[in-house]
Amino acid sequence: MKNKLVYGLTVGIGVIAAVAAFTPKAAEAAGTAPKCSTAKLIVPWKAGGGTQVIFAIFEKVVKSMNIPSKIKLVMIPGQGGNKGAKEAAKSKPNGCTLFAIHQSAVTSYLKGRIPYHYNNFETIALLTSTPDIVGASKSVPWKNFNEFKKATLAAPGTVKVGATFGSTSQFYWLVLEDLTGMKFKFVPYDGTRERMTAILSGAIDMGGLNVASGRKYLEKGDLKGFAIASAKRSKHLPNMPTLKELGVDMIYALQRGIVAPKGTPKPIIEYWASVFKKAAADPSFLKQMDAKGTGVEYVGPDGYRKWANKMYKDHEKLAIKIGMWKPKK
């Protein structure tokens, strides 16, 4: 029996079709708009990273909409996302502060790096999904995933994997360890750019990639890609097999969404949910996300909360198993 672990959310065709039925030119947003004309959307990572790039595109789309309250990105990096999370969590729950979030809020919490995760916020909308790739330096001798797996099993703890400790970039590989029996030697890096520099130079053997960050390097032969952790192959990298095809039934994608400070009134949550639902259906936005290999998967406040709860339990289970986390009594 194959092992299976899904650290993502599969959204049906009906949901995607429902999203596509909306455009930014549609009727005014539902719910009640906050009193501010521009809400602050906090991104707790550096400019130039995937989250900032994606929500900068959202920002442009929302600015073009005929609505009473729009958004402006504010980058507050530092402390593994804790600095921005702290600022968002302590903000007034009036709809004028929003927070861009993904699974690193949970992995960092379980690692003990930050005291916040989804339970400290009101869920608004789950928006995008970017699957991870098993990336490798071009200097490694292995030609495919099976050769990599065989070599790693034969020499546990010797294959160097770059990761930001406590983030999804490490958890992805921890999941792979758990499902395959492989053991890696983790090398810490502060962020995506640093890890990319390291894997390109050959300072590390392996590192997580995605279509947006790795495609040009993979196509030029500057990096190797052994598999993608998605339900099906990427149309941008059609020759790369999924992990499932290779006997590892695992889906792992970075899923980005929007939350608000705890206690934000439901009518304001509904307003922002409707705004982001319409923005997520904008044709230019969808085209740019497709080019990045990022799926658009709108899920509203209630569904997002259910997803967040399940995702937390999945990550907590693994964190307990490997001794990273002890549940609070």
Judge whether residue 187 has pLDDT over 80.
Answer: yes
* 132-251 matches 4-130+252-321 in CATH topology: yes
Residue of 303, 307, 231, 299 whose CA lies nearest to 15: 299
Q: Is 201 left (phi over 0), alpha (psi -120 to 50) or beta?
A: alpha
Residue 82 CB-half CA count within 13 A: 12
Please give the model's pTM, rounded to 2 decimal places: 0.85
Tens-digit pLDDT profile for residues 212-263: 889 999 999 999 999 999 999 999 999 999 999 999 999 999 999 999 999 9
What residue has token string 């590989």? Answer: 173
User: Which pLDDT belongs to residue 28?
Assistant: 54
Split at pLDDT 50, 70, 90, the class of 111 is confident
Q: Which two tokens stand for residue 118?
A: 């989804």
User: Which pLDDT belongs to residue 7?
Assistant: 52
Q: What is the DSSP letter of 79?
A: G
**In this predicted model, which residue has the larger pLDDT, 78 or 203?**
203
Superfamily of domain 4-130+252-321: Bordetella uptake gene, domain 1 (3.40.190.150)
Superfamily of domain 132-251: Periplasmic binding protein-like II (3.40.190.10)
Listed by start position, the domains of the chain span 4-130+252-321, 132-251
Do residues 125 and 30 make contact, with C-beta atoms less than 8 angstroms apart? Answer: no
Do residues 297 and 128 make contact, with C-beta atoms less than 8 angstroms apart? Answer: yes
